[in-house]
Structure 1
Amino acid sequence: MTFFKIISIFDESAFEDVKINLMTTIYDIAKKTGFSITTVSRALNNYSDVSEKTKKLILEAVEEMHYYPNSVARTLSTKKSWALGIIFVEDLGIGMKHPFFNSVIEGFKKSVEKKGYDLIFLNRNVGGVKMSYLDHALHRGVDGIAVVSSNYDDSEVEKIIASTLPNVIIDLHSTKSNVVYSDNLHGCELAIDHLYSLGHRKIAHIAGHPKTFVGLERLKGFKSAMKNHGLDIHKRFVVDGGLFSAEGGYNAMRKLLQMKDRPTAVFAAGDNMAFGAMKAIREAGLKVPEDFSVIGFDDIELAGEITPFLTTIKQDMDKIGEKAAEVLLQGIDNKSEPSTCIVPIELIKRESTKSVN
């Protein structure tokens, strides 16, 4: 359905027509169709409680009258800006190119767009003026904020959590805000269970940065799962892999390779670290999975493309984004109490793990 009229800049009569059409309001649509303003508004915003027949009649009138809802008028009539702020905080320097964050934000975007919301990516520099994320959000008048962050100690995120503006925090835990993240602890349990079932007893962990939520959660999950199987946790078998990069995994694996009593399996807290570990193993003249079984966490797209294909714990990234959108919009509409949504995960068995010889 076309809402815009394409005109020639030389057609003055067309300009007059556009001027008249721009004067059309939601009240005119209501008057023409005989429906209430509320019904017209809900039809335009695709609410499910408006019948398809009613929507059809209203949209026909919209097209005939060339109505396009003015954003300011829409804000005044609904008490909403119909805009949501997105804040992206990460220390890898990869930004939106990171497959996990990219997929989560895309899932969030698709969900909120269906409800008629625009997205504004917020930063701390507006028109050359430095301001906090929260100040930028208030400046833009957004209805709510989604924060993608793994950093426990980010003061900017804390300001948002403490504010009255509806928000959801993705990939971080808080009892003061809506939060959505994967079941990291169960994911670690599945990883260790799998390695144990293959006969591995000397299992190392390449851990994520201790200042990140997922790094701490997956280290906690690793230790808990090892204890469940009565396995010793050697301090030297737990190596810091940094900020979930391939380089961090590579350096951590090199440390493990220098040990006389090496592990037979490695559980990396992220797929990129697992890829780095496999590179270090290859450079040492050894093979995966013949000499080392390697398992990751995330199931990014490359996990099924780099050989050997990586056994990993799959996060449902689209679902994380969808759930984040759901709880944020509920918070905006109903001013509900903070909630925690933990998204299920699953083990994906591929080629990088095998039974101990």
Structure 2
Amino acid sequence: MITIYDVAKKAGFSSTTVSKALNNYSDVSEKTKQQILRVAAEMGYLPNAHAQSLSTKKSWTIGVMFSEANEVGMKHPFFNGVIESFRKYVEREGYDLIFASRNLRNRDISYLEHFQYRAVDGIVVICSDSKDAQVREMINSTLPITVIDRMDPGCSVIHSDNVAGSSLAVHYLYSLGHTKIAHIAGDSKTDAGAARIRGYKDAMKQLHLPIPEEYLINGGLFSIKEGKHAMEQLLSLRDRPTAVFAAGDHMAIGAIEAVKEKGLSVPEDISIIGFDDIEMSSYITPKLTTIKQDTHLIGERAAKMLLNQITKKKKMIHSEVIPVELIIRDSCRTISKKEK
């Protein structure tokens, strides 16, 4: 069996330095750490998890909670992409993930109690439900925590620039000649939904464009079905919009389906732009123009944010906003003055 002393001898460092490198101590340089990790991997060294926990006072586990009002969770491509990036980063640093089961809701135990019982070193919450009491309980605890997709002053949070993204969508449609721009909004009870509504309204005001009451329509919890239903309502209007900004790609896909069922065409009869840039967006017909969220960067930055708290053994309050990007495909077109 390969021991830490064998790794130290081959790597040319003391057993103390090797131990610190394997346990990710900050007083070992990155170059030294990588050299030791490479030698350990080549020798097939596997540290004893129990011994690691005793020596470092850490469990080397991170709790993961999805707070989704529509109970989609990891099924949604955005959240799936974020947690995959997060997982890859923390696993490289030696951590494992523990996912909270939804069955906990049917037992007399909270998510926080579950994670405390499992002795996790920190918690990441993937959240679109801003009213979730269990999320608030964890934020108020002493455990290191990072919350993704929520704006909260009480903990470390990371989210896309939803306001700027919505403004980008509206300005792009305006640049194509559109002035009748409707918004299929995400639920305003979610932070993302509320921020995207604000971005839409701000951009329309800046461009001196009116927002008829019926042009701002609730698309619910970002699903294809709800997007389709919202689009059907817009298509029934006497003065219907020439362009629609949907607060999520799933809703935009539902909207496109509604247009097709009406015997109309995207973008010939109506332009549609989404938000997310999920993989499906580039494969549907027409390919969806959208606002891209950088799921890889969000997951990686969230991991760094949480591990920094765990390493320093201190809960921190920090906020980071990740830029978004306009991805132009085929679902929007330029219109002439007489078409407005």
- Matched to 1:354, the amino acid is R
Is residue 79 of structure 1 aligned with residue 57 of structure 2? yes
Q: Deviations over 1:123-152 (max 9, x none)?
A: 3647x9541110011001010000001111
Q: Normalized against structure 2, the TM-score is what?
A: 0.90
Separation in 2, partners of 1:198, 1:56 = 54
1:70 counterpart (28, 48, 54): 48
- Matched to 1:352, the amino acid is S
For residues 211 and 347 of structure 1, do their structure 2 counterparts lie closer, same or farther at Cα, with a shift above 3 Å needed? Answer: same
Taking only aligned residues, the RMSD between alpha carbons, in angstroms, comes to 2.3
Q: Deviations over 1:268-308 (max 9, x none)?
A: 00001001111111111111111101000000001100010
For residues 253 and 91 of structure 1, do their structure 2 counterparts lie closer, same or farther at Cα, with a shift above 3 Å needed? Answer: same
Separation in 1, partners of 2:190, 2:235 = 26
The offset of 1:79, in angstroms, is 1.5
Contact kept in structure 2, 1:43 and 1:58, CA below 8 Å: no
The offset of 1:228, in angstroms, is 0.8
Tell me the residue number matched to 2:289. 311
Contact kept in structure 1, 2:144 and 2:315, CA below 8 Å: no
The offset of 1:218, in angstroms, is 0.4
Tell me the residue number matched to 1:342. 321
2:233 counterpart (234, 237, 255): 255
Q: Normalized against structure 1, the TM-score is what?
A: 0.86
Separation in 2, partners of 1:175, 1:217 = 16
Q: Kindly report which structure 2 residues correspond to 1:170-189, keeping only aligned pairs within 5 A, or say none.
A: 170-189=148-167
For residues 240 and 74 of structure 1, do their structure 2 counterparts lie closer, same or farther at Cα, with a shift above 3 Å needed? Answer: same
- Structure 1 window deviating more from structure 2 (316-325 vs 129-138): it is 129-138
Q: Deviations over 1:71-129 (max 9, x none)?
A: 12101111211111111121333332211111000000011011111111123647x95
The unaligned stretches of length 5 or more in structure 1 are 1-20
Tell me the residue number matched to 2:331. 352
For residues 244 and 68 of structure 1, do their structure 2 counterparts lie closer, same or farther at Cα, with a shift above 3 Å needed? Answer: same
For residues 73 and 254 of structure 1, do their structure 2 counterparts lie closer, same or farther at Cα, with a shift above 3 Å needed? Answer: same
Is residue 50 of structure 1 aligned with residue 32 of structure 2? yes
Separation in 2, partners of 1:303, 1:263 = 22
Tell me the residue number matched to 2:249. 271
Q: Kindly report which structure 2 residues correspond to 1:198-209, keeping only aligned pairs within 5 A, or say none.
A: 198-209=176-187
Tell me the residue number matched to 2:147. 169
Tell me the residue number matched to 1:229. 207
Tell me the residue number matched to 2:90. 112
Question: Partner of 2:32: helix, strand, or coil?
Answer: coil
Q: Deviations over 1:318-343 (max 9, x none)?
A: 11100100100111112263111111
Separation in 2, partners of 1:303, 1:32 = 50
Question: Partner of 1:323: helix, strand, or coil?
Answer: helix
Separation in 2, partners of 1:258, 1:31 = 76
For residues 75 and 290 of structure 1, do their structure 2 counterparts lie closer, same or farther at Cα, with a shift above 3 Å needed? Answer: same
The unaligned stretches of length 5 or more in structure 2 are none
Contact kept in structure 2, 1:124 and 1:133, CA below 8 Å: no
The offset of 1:70, in angstroms, is 1.9
Separation in 1, partners of 2:332, 2:37 = 55
For residues 113 and 285 of structure 1, do their structure 2 counterparts lie closer, same or farther at Cα, with a shift above 3 Å needed? Answer: same
Separation in 2, partners of 1:341, 1:316 = 13
Contact kept in structure 1, 2:123 and 2:146, CA below 8 Å: yes
Question: Partner of 1:333: helix, strand, or coil?
Answer: helix
Contact kept in structure 2, 1:124 and 1:130, CA below 8 Å: no
Separation in 2, partners of 1:56, 1:301 = 34
2:124 counterpart (146, 166, 173): 146
User: What is the number of equivalent residue pairs in this alignment?
Assistant: 330
For residues 295 and 123 of structure 1, do their structure 2 counterparts lie closer, same or farther at Cα, with a shift above 3 Å needed? Answer: same
Contact kept in structure 1, 2:23 and 2:56, CA below 8 Å: no
The offset of 1:35, in angstroms, is 4.6
- Matched to 1:345, the amino acid is V
Sequence identity, in percent?
Answer: 52
Structure number, greater radius of gyration: 1
1:288 counterpart (252, 266, 270): 266
Separation in 2, partners of 1:340, 1:353 = 34
